[in-house]
Structure 1
Amino acid sequence: MSLLVEVFVREPDGDMRILDVPDGVYQSGGFESWRTTVWGSEFVRSLGARFLPVPAGQDLRVEPGDVPGFQREVAVLRSRLGDVARGERPQGDRGRTAPPPPVRAVAGPGAADGYEERAAGT
């Protein structure tokens, strides 16, 4: 089983409508075990992550107002991918993180409202 990342919009009645994924877009969030071994790991939490550790215990939904913070968190983790893959800080690192690279925000008419990460088949 694997984790899927879906993009959704909120309907006026509050229901969530998952959008179709464009051809060539990779929507995997990793293996199911990554909920705890990667995204829920102590190392990822030590980098200040608050969204991506959520799938360790439940499905993650990032609502529209939280998307900018989610994008910043992803940028920080992307800047430390080698360390995340090893699951530990490099020698001499005292928990400092590099500033996040710029992240393009999705905004404007027709933009997606949020993200959802869930186990495939749920």
Structure 2
Amino acid sequence: MRSNSRELNLNEIINMFNKVQYCRLAVCENNQPYVVPMSFRYKCEGNGFKFLFNSLNEGVKIKFLSRNSKVCIEFDRNVGNAIDSIIVIGSGRIFNDPCGDRSVILEVISSKVTGKRTFLEI
């Protein structure tokens, strides 16, 4: 199997954010990565994006994020014989959800967003 790829432009990236329901949020502590699927909301801010995630206020991702703010978010979807994927590098923070007593909001501000369409030839 061979593959080739091209970069996604900003409009394609935004279009994908609007179409996918879930992403994968990665956090890390002491060289131990942890990845979890999450639903999300986003908005454009300046030259980057802000992502919001709802979460319970306990667990591995909360523990790791409270000690290390660096995060990575991955989005993907199949498009015919291709896969679109977006990687977001950024920093996250935790704040209380005003609507829930056992939940928090995770906010991620992007520092780098890259996207690719990889074409698969079988």
Q: Say whether the fold is shared (TM-score over 0.5).
A: no
Scaled by the length of structure 1, the TM-score of the pair is: 0.24
Q: TM-score, normalised by structure 2?
A: 0.24
Q: Which has the higher contact order (CA 8 A, sep 6+)?
A: 1
Q: Which has the larger share of strand?
A: 2
Higher helix residue share: 1
